[in-house]
């Protein structure tokens, strides 16, 4: 940090206070938002942070003028947050910022209009980001990370401020999405339920009123929740909404949506094109799709093993593992097609021993009893139409549509 004279430090601090006061009095949300953007390190915030380190009595400057002092509960902790952030004391910075954010929220509650929503969005975002960084600092010092949990509690208060009637309610979905990010990060996704219930059932909210950006994020996270709950029909609807309304230039966001939408589509029998997987660098799904096309159980298992860690981290491993039944269906269908080419009259009668030999060729050892169990499940799940001739160990397939399409319904539902 370069040397700053006391006079220059005083000038910078006064300039910052004027900028804050002018933004509030003129209801300039964009200028006010920049004042709270700590994590993006705008140059004027760096400059005032350096000034605060030099000029140790900034509180006196605030109290000298009524136009500053009426916002002292916001400005004093904000100054401490700026100074601490510049000195890389991230825990202290978060604690001070949360105090400033609390005070700002109280002011926002008292303002009749929603002119400062953009600034509140920045405060909600910064609260989460600063809490994450503070927790990393705590963890590196051998202490319990707890600030992100505290940020979640604060943002629930903000949500309460926005959840009433009037123009402010359109900000509720943005705060909800910040809460989702916190809950997913902490592994406390069950806490999402209370917020989603408010958004989806409260009469004060009309989903179509919310900004498109927030609707896309909301549908992405609630779609992921439906994946965890194995409600694939709802997951398909929500993630498809997020994909179709996502900005096509936001390639990273599209990839994030597809990471969850592809397993959902696979579970309901819809296979993505290879070009899509290549375009969005989702090649971990290449062999899974190929296994489904071929009826190759060994290839599916190898693909799951190879990418086990990322699939487990994203929470889709169990969804993908359940695709085995579809692979068995595809294998049986291939056997049926080959038999049909040899003898059309007996194509619908498939000996279990033939299936055992096909699996052995794929390097999977199963006896007849195990195969019989698998075939029973396929029939029960309506992946195969037919019945068992138990004594002769033969699967007798229906002559009409022996392999029904999934038609958008998951196998395990």
User: What is the side-by-side strand order in the sheet with 394-397?
Assistant: 349-351, 394-397, 386-389
Specify the 3-state DSSP secondary structure of 357.
helix
- Please name every residue paired with 387 in a beta bridge, in sequence order, or none if there are none: 396
Q: What is the CA radius of gyration of the chain?
A: 29
Rounded Cα–Cα distance for residues 339 and 259 (Å): 38
pLDDT, tens only, 303-313:
999 999 999 99
pLDDT on residue 413: 40
Residue 289 has pLDDT above 90, yes or no: yes
pLDDT on residue 366: 87
pLDDT on residue 1: 58
- Please name every residue paired with 301 in a beta bridge, in sequence order, or none if there are none: none
pLDDT greater at residue 351 or residue 21:
21
pLDDT, tens only, 48-74:
899 888 888 888 888 888 888 999 999
- Please name every residue paired with 386 in a beta bridge, in sequence order, or none if there are none: 397
Residue bearing tokens 């992946």: 383
Rounded Cα–Cα distance for residues 358 and 250 (Å): 45
Residue 352 domain-assigned (yes or no): no
Give whole-number Cα distances, 167 to 25, 111, 199, in Å: 20, 11, 15
Q: Which residues of 35-67 are buried (b: 16+ CB within 10 A; e: fewer)?
A: bbebbeeeeebebbbbbbebbeebeebbeeeee
pLDDT, tens only, 230-266:
899 999 999 999 999 999 999 999 999 999 999 999 9
Residue 158: name the closest of 214, 201, 107 by CA. Answer: 107
Residue 6 domain-assigned (yes or no): yes
Give percent of the chain above pLDDT 90. 62
Residue 301: name the closest of 370, 359, 354, 238 by CA. Answer: 359
Element (H, E) at 146: none
Residue 233 domain-assigned (yes or no): no
Q: What is the mean pLDDT of the chain?
A: 91
Residue 50 domain-assigned (yes or no): yes
Residue 287 domain-assigned (yes or no): no
What is the count of structural domains for the chain? 1
Residue 47 domain-assigned (yes or no): yes
Residue 380 has pLDDT above 60, yes or no: yes
Write out the two tokens for 218: 């909301």
Whether the full predicted model's pTM is greater than 0.85, yes or no, is yes
Residue 280 domain-assigned (yes or no): no
Residue 117 domain-assigned (yes or no): yes
What is the SS3 string spanning 378-393? HHHCCCCCEEEECCCC
pLDDT, tens only, 191-234:
999 899 888 877 767 888 899 999 999 999 999 999 998 899 99
pLDDT, tens only, 119-177:
999 999 999 999 999 999 999 999 999 999 999 999 999 999 998 778 899 999 999 99
Domain boundaries, position 62: 1-210
């Amino acid at each position: 940090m370069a040397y700053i004279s006391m006079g220059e430090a005083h000038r910078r601090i006064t300039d910052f206070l004027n900028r804050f006061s002018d933004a509030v009095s003129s209801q300039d949300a964009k200028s006010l938002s920049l004042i709270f953007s700590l994590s993006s390190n705008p140059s004027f915030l760096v400059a005032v942070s350096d000034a605060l380190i030099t000029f140790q009595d900034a509180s006196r400057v605030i109290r000298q003028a009524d136009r500053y002092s009426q916002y002292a509960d916001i400005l004093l902790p904000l100054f401490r947050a700026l100074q601490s952030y510049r000195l890389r004391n991230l825990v202290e910075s978060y604690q001070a910022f949360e105090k400033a954010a609390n005070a700002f929220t109280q002011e926002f509650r008292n303002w009749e209009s929603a002119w400062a929503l953009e600034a509140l969005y920045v405060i909600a975002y910064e609260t989460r980001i600063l809490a994450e960084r503070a927790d990393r600092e705590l963890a590196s010092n051998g202490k319990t990370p707890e600030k992100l949990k505290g940020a979640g509690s604060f943002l629930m208060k903000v949500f309460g401020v926005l959840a009433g009637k009037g123009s402010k309610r359109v900000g509720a979905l943005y705060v909800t999405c910040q809460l989702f990010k916190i809950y997913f990060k902490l592994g406390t996704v069950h806490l999402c339920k209370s917020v989603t219930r408010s958004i989806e059932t409260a009469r004060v909210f009309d989903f179509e009123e919310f900004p498109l950006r927030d609707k896309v994020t909301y549908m992405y996270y609630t779609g992921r929740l439906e994946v965890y709950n194995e409600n694939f029909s709802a997951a398909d609807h929500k993630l498809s909404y997020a994909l179709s309304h996502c900005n096509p230039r936001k390639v990273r966001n599209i990839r994030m949506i597809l990471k969850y939408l592809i397993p959902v589509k696979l579970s309901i029998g819809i296979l993505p094109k290879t070009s899509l997987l290549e375009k969005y660098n989702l090649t971990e799904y290449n062999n899974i799709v190929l296994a489904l096309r071929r009826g190759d159980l060994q290839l599916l298992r190898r693909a799951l093993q190879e990418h086990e860690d990322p699939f487990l981290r994203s929470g889709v491993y169990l969804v993908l593992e359940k695709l085995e039944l579809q692979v068995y269906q595809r294998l049986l269908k291939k056997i049926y097609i080959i038999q049909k080419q040899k003898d059309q009259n007996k194509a619908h009668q498939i000996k279990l021993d033939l299936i055992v030999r096909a699996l052995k060729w794929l390097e999977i050892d199963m006896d007849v009893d195990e195969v019989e169990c698998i075939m029973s499940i396929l029939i029960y799940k309506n992946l195969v139409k037919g019945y068992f001739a138990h004594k002769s160990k033969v699967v007798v397939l229906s002559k009409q549509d022996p392999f029904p399409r999934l038609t958008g319904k998951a196998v395990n539902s």
